[in-house]
Amino acid sequence: METGRESVAGTKRLPRAVRERQMLDAAVTCFARHGYQTASMDEIAELAGVSKPLVYLYLHSKEDLFTACIRREAEALLATVAGAVGDPDVPPDERLWAGLLAFFTHAADHPDAWVVLSRQARTQGEPFATEAARMRDEIAAFVAGLIGEAAREARDGAAITERDVTALAQALVGSAEALAGWANETPGVTAREAAATLMNFAWAGLGNLMKGERWSRR
């Protein structure tokens, strides 16, 4: 009987996708709270409302579970930002603003996911650091695509080389990462405030900020 296994585990019958989502949600919370080494499969199962054998059946091991968390959260973040940036008809600064606002809002709304992604994934050694680096490269490539489009549209775009674009994308991703960590840890800083700071930094530049000239919508 199909229900046999879950009955043994003493859990209610739910579609596998729903169960897996519950497990990953619980895992992200536990990993963010205790770190990879200390988080226990017992606590994750309890928080997900399932038996521990079911967690192993679906996600195989703690290592696989952690990797699945990194993948899911990175994909969710990228999808959110890509969705917000919208189509190329919108002016590049508006697209950047929309992307940054979506990014900081997502990081603020999912602080546990952001801790797992930006910190745990890197600080728990291999193979997670490589997985995190792969996701980071994907996001940097996406941002480079945006900057490249903007450069091609701009009148003097020809002056910005492919390598410039890649380097600027690295700088932008690095600054966004650092600022999101700071914003989430600093009481009272909103996602909108963090996005505005980075928009001013990245688009207007420090030189203009010092003269009191900030980025503003046209």
Binding-site ranges for its own copies (CB under 8 A): 35, 37, 92-93, 96, 119, 122-126, 129, 147, 150-151, 154-157, 159-160, 163-164, 166-168, 170-179, 181-183, 186, 189, 194, 197-198, 201-212, 215
Query: From the CB of 11, what's the least distance to its own copies, in Å?
Result: 33
Q: What gap in Å lies between CA 151 and CA 137, rounded to an integer? A: 20
131 token code pair = 């997985």
Query: From the CB of 172, what's the least distance to its own copies, in Å?
Result: 7
Which one, 47 or 209, has the nearer CB to its own copies? 209
Which one, 54 or 168, has the nearer CB to its own copies? 168
Which one, 49 or 157, has the nearer CB to its own copies? 157
Q: What gap in Å lies between CA 187 and CA 147, rounded to an integer? A: 32
35 contacts 77 by C-beta, under 8 angstroms: no
Residue found under tokens 């209610």: 12
With 0-12 / 13-18 / 19 or more C-beta atoms within 10 angstroms meaning exposed / middle / buried, residue 155 is: exposed
Query: From the CB of 117, what's the least distance to its own copies, in Å?
Result: 14
Task: Please report which helix (H) or strand (E) contains residue 194, including its range.
Answer: helix 191-199
Which one, 45 or 176, has the nearer CB to its own copies? 176
